[in-house]
């Protein structure tokens, strides 16, 4: 099976209480808060390299993680730093992955026109004048694959890494059975 690389995980959670974003912005050196332009506070960590968005409601979005473990670690680090400056966090964050973006390489060139003609039309969008990739929507797992003539692909919409693996296995199998992998 082709090697899969997770490029980005977006996850959300809640700290269970309202947050004083002004106080957090003043206390945490790397925090960026400009409510005129964006209602959330942006806090970037160097390790793991992530960006966490904090909202007054207590909602939290973490992006940039390369694994569920990194996302969990980033959110825990942010929560600990907020607690250290005296801001309460009411509940242990329950992290929910919203989207995983991953890439892979089929390691062979593929003919997108042939694929568009051969596979299920209702699941495919291919307009090379608009976008150089073929968009293939899978129902199980519920993800979107972007296929490129180079054989590279991007998977988006997955909720867990296993979904990406299943999607890549599925498209590799479908292309192989249709004789579209050289």
| Per-residue model confidence (pLDDT) at position 66 | 97
15 touches 115 (CB < 8 A) = no
- Which pLDDT band, with edges at 50, 70 and 90, does 2 fall under? confident
Tell me the mean pLDDT in the region 29-47.
Answer: 96
Domain ranges in the chain?
Answer: 9-97, 106-177
pLDDT at 122 exceeding the cut of 90: no
Tell me the mean pLDDT in the region 130-156.
Answer: 97
| Per-residue model confidence (pLDDT) at position 72 | 96
The Cα–Cα gap between 53 and 71 comes to: 13
| Per-residue model confidence (pLDDT) at position 157 | 98
Tell me the mean pLDDT in the region 24-39.
Answer: 95
The Cα–Cα gap between 42 and 182 comes to: 46
Tell me the mean pLDDT in the region 50-67.
Answer: 97
Fold classification of 106-177 (topology level): TATA-Binding Protein (3.30.310)
DSSP state of 49: T
- Residues of the chain with pLDDT > 70, as a percent, come to 100
Tell me the mean pLDDT in the region 44-67.
Answer: 97
pTM for the structure as a whole: 0.91
Tell me the mean pLDDT in the region 143-172.
Answer: 97
pLDDT at 102 exceeding the cut of 80: yes
Same fold, 9-97 and 106-177: yes
Q: What is the dihedral of CA 138, 144, 148, 153, to 10 degrees?
A: -100
CATH architecture of 9-97: 2-Layer Sandwich (3.30)
Return the biggest CA–CA distance within the chain: 62
Which pLDDT tens digit goes with each residue over 66-98? 999 999 999 999 999 999 999 989 888 899 999
């Amino acid at each position: 099976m082709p090697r899969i690389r997770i490029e980005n995980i977006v996850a959300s959670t809640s700290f269970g209480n309202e947050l004083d974003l002004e106080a957090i912005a003043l206390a945490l050196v790397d925090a960026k808060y400009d409510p005129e332009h964006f209602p959330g506070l942006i806090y970037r960590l160097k390790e793991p390299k992530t960006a966490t968005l904090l909202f007054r409601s207590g909602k939290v979005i973490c992006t940039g993680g390369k694994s569920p473990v990194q996302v969990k670690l980033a959110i825990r680090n942010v929560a600990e730093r907020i607690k250290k400056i005296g801001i309460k966090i009411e509940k242990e964050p329950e992290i929910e992955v919203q989207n995983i973006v991953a890439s892979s390489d089929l390691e062979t060139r593929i003919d997108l026109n042939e694929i568009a003609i051969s596979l299920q039309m209702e699941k495919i969008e291919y307009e090379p004048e608009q976008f150089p990739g073929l968009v293939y929507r899978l129902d199980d797992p519920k993800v979107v694959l972007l296929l490129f003539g180079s054989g590279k692909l991007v998977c988006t919409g997955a909720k867990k890494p296993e979904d990406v693996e299943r999607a890549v296995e599925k498209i590799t199998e479908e292309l192989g059975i249709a004789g579209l992998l050289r």
